[in-house]
Structure 1
Amino acid sequence: RSGPGRVGSITSLYSVLLEGDGTLDPVAEEIQALLDGHVFLSNELAQRNHFPAIDVLRSRSRLMDTVVPSEHRSDAGRLRELLARYADVELLLRVGEYEKGSDAVADEAVAKIDTINAFLRQPSATHETIERTRERMRGIVNERS
């Protein structure tokens, strides 16, 4: 049994394999409603040799607010915002229609996307402390572009 008990709690990791993006799968929707965290893996990221192939924008933690310091939450939120804004303008960049200077957040996202992607990649043999990860994330968020 997972969940809190009289003397502590039992943490479990459940995995569900979905075909496609899983947005129309009622089982997937029910599982997402029940679980506190969702990690989505992306074929597109894997094809780009981006490992771990975690889709940060689709992944969620309902407990993040209670288990990480406020500075970490703020930095992670800003990083997600930059990733989302880059996704919004990526097609414009590819077709040469992006106009620098029209959106400061988009400009920052474009300037930092390579650094953000390098931060989100981690070879399987690499071990990094949570403190170092937080330092690196803070550096990216606070870096002037």
Structure 2
Amino acid sequence: MNIATAIRTAVDTALRADAATVVAFGTSAVRLYPLTTPLSPVFPYIRMLVQVIGDDGACGEENEVNLTLEIFARDGSYEASAETVEAIAGAARKALTRQLPLTGHVMDDWRFEGDRPVSDPDVLTAHRSVSINYLTSATA
């Protein structure tokens, strides 16, 4: 399994299994889109973006993987939406800043990079961007 797919699978599994993330989504299921978002998504949801910076050295394949979670909510008011994305962002950060099991790879290190609000054009949608960096090695 390539590293991008392994990371997507591990993140999906970790977030769906994390009690705090499930609670932050409220009465809805955890909605996580790994590549693209549907045209009319149900809120709240997370869009997952994975960037792999490879290093195929002579000693083995090592990768730096940048994970970005774009979190969106649209509740009855902007304030309510902001509370929802803040709760989801906090839960996701805690669930993902640890060693995650990867198929065909080992997670050697991880670092929380940032959590920032992002301006959205409508008055009801809140949006946050969470970034985490992983260093991985391929297994034999």
User: TM-score, normalising length from structure 1?
Assistant: 0.24
Higher strand share: 2
Structure with larger RCO (C-alpha < 8 A, sep 6+): 2
